Amino acid sequence: MKYLITGGSGFIGSHLVRLLLKDNKNFVHNLDKLTYASNKNLFDTKNHKRYSFKKLDINDYNRVYKELALFKPDIVFNLAAETHVDRSIINSRDFILANILGTFTLLQATQKYLNNIYKKNKERKFKFIHISTDEVYGSLSKNKKHFTENSNYLPNSPYSASKASADHIIRAWFKTYDFPVITTHCSNNYGPNQNYEKFIPMIITNALNHKPITIYGTGTQLRDWIHVEDHVRALKIISQKGKIGETYNIGSNNLKKNIDLARIICKYLNSISKNKKINYLDYIIFVKDRLGHDFKYAINTSKINKKIKWKSQINFKEGLYKTVDWYIKNQNKGLR
* Domains of the chain, earliest start first: 2-190+226-252+296-313 (3.40.50.720)
Task: Say what the pLDDT of residue 44 is.
Answer: 63
Task: Say what the pLDDT of residue 123 is.
Answer: 53
Q: What span, in angstroms and rounded, lies between the C-alpha atoms of 43 and 32?
A: 16
Residue 5 φ then ψ, to 5°? -120, 120
Rounded to 5°, the CA angle 135-140-146 comes to: 85
Contact by Cβ (8 Å): 10, 36 = no
Task: Say what the pLDDT of residue 334 is.
Answer: 41
Strands 255-257 and 222-227, bridge-based pairing: antiparallel
Name the nearest CA neighbour of 76 among 1, 151, 175, 187: 1
Task: Say what the pLDDT of residue 332 is.
Answer: 59
Task: Say what the pLDDT of residue 254 is.
Answer: 94
Catalytic residue among 67, 82, 135, 230: 135
Catalytic residue among 3, 51, 159, 190: 159
DSSP state of 288: P
Q: Count the neighbouring beta carbons within 10 Å of the beta carbon of residue 243.
A: 12
Task: Say what the pLDDT of residue 335 is.
Answer: 39
Which whole-number Å values give the CA distances from 107 to 60, 69, 123, 312, in the listed order?
A: 12, 14, 22, 30
pLDDT per residue of the chain (336 residues) written in tens, 0 to 9: 999 999 999 999 999 999 999 999 999 999 999 988 887 666 566 678 999 999 999 999 999 999 999 999 999 999 999 999 989 999 999 999 999 999 999 999 999 999 998 666 655 689 999 999 999 999 998 888 899 999 999 999 999 999 999 999 999 999 999 999 999 999 999 999 999 999 999 999 999 999 999 999 999 999 999 999 999 999 999 999 999 999 999 999 999 999 999 999 999 999 999 888 999 999 999 999 999 899 999 999 999 999 999 999 999 999 999 999 999 998 755 433
* Residues whose CB is less than 8 angstroms from the CB of residue 119 and which lie 6 or more positions away in sequence, other chains included: none
Task: Say what the pLDDT of residue 159 is.
Answer: 96
Residue 222 CB-half CA count within 13 A: 15
327 is catalytic: no
| The amino acid at 295 | F
Task: Say what the pLDDT of residue 19 is.
Answer: 97
Q: Count the neighbouring beta carbons within 10 Å of the beta carbon of residue 26.
A: 18
* Residues whose CB is less than 8 angstroms from the CB of residue 62 and which lie 6 or more positions away in sequence, other chains included: none
Beta partners for residue 54, in sequence order: 31
51 is catalytic: no
Task: Say what the pLDDT of residue 29 is.
Answer: 97
Q: What span, in angstroms and rounded, lies between the C-alpha atoms of 3 and 129?
A: 11
134 is catalytic: yes
Catalytic residue among 32, 67, 134, 229: 134
